[in-house]
Amino acid sequence: AAGLRCQAQADDKDGLYMRRCVELARKAAGHTSPNPMVGCVIVRDGRVVGEGFHPKAGQPHAEVFALRDAGDLAENATAYVSLEPCNHYGRTPPCTEALIKAKVKDVVVGMTDPNPIVASKGIERLQNAGIDVRVCVEEEALCRKLNEAYIHRMLTGKAFATLRATLSMNGIVVNQIGNGADQPGGYYSQLLKEYDGVIISSNLAMMTALPVSHEAGAKQPLYIIIALGKNSHLSIPFLSEESASEAIVLTDSPIAVEPAGVEVLVLDRINLDSILQLLAQRGLCSVLVDFRDAGADFASLVNSFQEEKLIQKIVLEFLPVWTVSKGSGDLAFGGSQSFPLKHVEHKEFNGCVLLEGYV
């Protein structure tokens, strides 16, 4: 696709409109899986005449909303789309045909679609119809980051996993999260909004209110509760019978779960690889692994990720506390070898430091 690539124009109008596409796409954050987030802007004579985004799987794609918004003004216009337009009949008809029918002049694409049934066929179809297509190089990384979870699931068949833990200043894993982190606007509340599921230990499920996002319009994640060995009974006090379908329990031996109605999956061998495949098969693109109240079993399950790169991203929160060490029983991530994280960023939130990076 090298020949397709555009250099950013002098006034960087392409970048401006592509960033707007990403902004529109993000309005549906947490709602689109297994589909990607996609935004579309229609520009004619230097003016935005239509905008749209994909709200939810099963509903029309971004291009369709933007073309509807533009009406007749789409003719001879430029369409910006954060992802290559699809060229297949899925739950919805192909966007390429909608763009051709609307007689747009050219199309600027943020990135090609890794979905094998689309993969560059959308671009080819548009070109064959005489539409000029270019990939916006400058904003490609932004478009990839927007859909990092969707891309990962498409390419690996596994859910994109982020490990989250809280550490004291002396590097011990602690079970609380920072002050206000789970309130509206808090980093934890914001994080949950973006993820399709959250993996928690049975210890956490038994003792604490289940993690909830308090952000406007948030859809709550599916709770994936890991119950390993020992216990024959698990009661989840903060889950009502009506909301039993919001959780599944993964276990390696039969277990009675309360409330009734919670799905229990007994797997021969529970490892992170099989869990992430199972979640991807169920249409989850992303999952947050919350390390609070991890017992030794949960900790070793999570620690195994290093061998296979099963976790893609790590978010650590450092609380301004010093843990009085009880000695060997304290949970840490262990190990003697280190590998560097990539694209590391840090933020401050309410006196806590957040460090995030990619594996």
Stretch that binds ligand AOF, among 55-63, 178-186, 259-267, 285-293 (CB under 6 A): 55-63
Site for ligand AOF in 126-155 (CB under 6 A): none
Binding mask 22-61 for Zn ion (x = CB under 5 A): ---------------------------------------x
CB distance 182 to 211 below 8 Å: yes
Written in H, E and C, the secondary structure of the chain is CHHHEECCCCCCHHHHHHHHHHHHHHHHCCCCCCCCCCEEEEEECCEEEEEEECCCCCCCCHHHHHHHHHHHHHCCCEEEECCCCCCCCCCCCCHHHHHHHCCCCEEEECCCCCCCCCCCHHHHHHHHCCCEEEEEHHHHHHHHHHCHHHHHHHHHCCCEEEEEEEECCCCCEECCCCCCCCCCCCHHHHHHHHCCEEEEEHHHHHHCCCCCCCCCCCCCCEEEEEECCCCCEEECCCCCCCCHHHEEEEECCCCEEECCCCEEEECCCCCHHHHHHHHHHCCCCEEEEECCCCCHHHHHHHHCHHHHCCCCEEEEEECCCCCCCCCCCCCCCCCCCCCCCEEEEEEEECCEEEEEEEC
**Residue 83 binding target from Zn ion, ligand AOF, none, CB below 5 to 8 Å by type:** ligand AOF
By beta-carbon proximity to Zn ion, the closer residue of 66 and 149 is: 66
Binding of ligand AOF at residue 78 (CB under 6 A)?
no
Q: How far is the CB of 8 from ligand AOF (least distance, A)?
A: 23
Q: How far is the CB of 338 from ligand AOF (least distance, A)?
A: 37
Binding of Zn ion at residue 125 (CB under 5 A)?
no
Residue from 18, 21, 77, 86 touching Zn ion (CB under 5 A): that is 86
Stretch that binds Zn ion, among 5-13, 93-101, 308-316, 318-326 (CB under 5 A): 93-101
Binding of ligand AOF at residue 112 (CB under 6 A)?
no
Residue from 61, 121, 152, 153 touching ligand AOF (CB under 6 A): that is 61
By beta-carbon proximity to Zn ion, the closer residue of 63 and 317 is: 63
Residue from 22, 38, 198, 257 touching ligand AOF (CB under 6 A): that is 38
Stretch that binds ligand AOF, among 110-118, 165-173, 323-331, 351-359 (CB under 6 A): 110-118
Q: Supply the residues annotated as catalytic.
A: 63
Q: How far is the CB of 118 from ligand AOF (least distance, A)?
A: 5
- Residues forming contacts to Zn ion in the complex (CB under 5 A) are 61, 86, 95
- The residues that touch ligand AOF, with contacts defined as CB under 6 A, are 35-36, 38, 54, 57, 61-63, 83, 85-86, 90-92, 95, 113, 115, 118
